[in-house]
Structure 1
Amino acid sequence: MAVMMPEPNPTEEVLDFLLSAPTPEAVIALRPSPVAQERLRYLLDGNRNTTLNDAERAELENYLQLEHFVRRLKIRAREKLAADV
């Protein structure tokens, strides 16, 4: 019997990325996986149409918080690159 591994969630994807000791350039280039992008589209559409349940609203909030963190991380990476010039 095969064991199904769950899809990594976006937070796990970012944590794994950070554990890889990325360069500032890699941080700036970081993008969500296609699976994460599709899930976010679903949640945003559901939010717009007011069809999300409580768990989905909480998931969307987590995505938004993660996006804010990654944006701040990218700003810091750009600052570091500018300071190294």
Structure 2
Amino acid sequence: MTVATKIPQAYSEIVEFFAAGTTPESIINFQLSEEAKEHIADLIYAHNNEGLTREDKIELDNFLVVEHLLRLIKAVARKHIVKE
């Protein structure tokens, strides 16, 4: 039995971006859509004020790890531009 899971929009946008191919410049300039940013902001607000469901907490925790990784990737991309 296969259980389909919904991929959060932010994750989907990041995956699509890298799957399409990148350059150091495009990595540095990459931004999530406003809709994805608002969703993450809503999760953070709920975490700080109302509490989150278990699923929302997992999504937020995972996004924070992905966001940290994306920051590291952008830092390395900047090094590649400086070398060129």
The 2-side partners of 1:44 and 1:66 are apart by: 15
- Deviation string 1:13-55 (CA, Å, 9 cap, x unpaired) is 1111111111111100001111110111110001111421111
Residue in 1 that maps onto 2:25: 25
The 2-side partners of 1:53 and 1:7 are apart by: 17
Q: Report % sequence identity.
A: 29
Structure 1, unmatched stretches of 5+, are: 1-5
Q: How many residues align?
A: 79
Structure 2, unmatched stretches of 5+, are: 1-5
Residue in 1 that maps onto 2:83: 83
The 2-side partners of 1:10 and 1:28 are apart by: 17
Distance verdict in 2 for CA 1:15–1:7, change over 3 Å: closer
User: When the two structures are superposed, what TM-score results if normalisation uses the length of structure 1?
Assistant: 0.84
User: When the two structures are superposed, what TM-score results if normalisation uses the length of structure 2?
Assistant: 0.84
The 1-side partners of 2:9 and 2:41 are apart by: 14
Regions of 4+ moved over 3 Å:
none
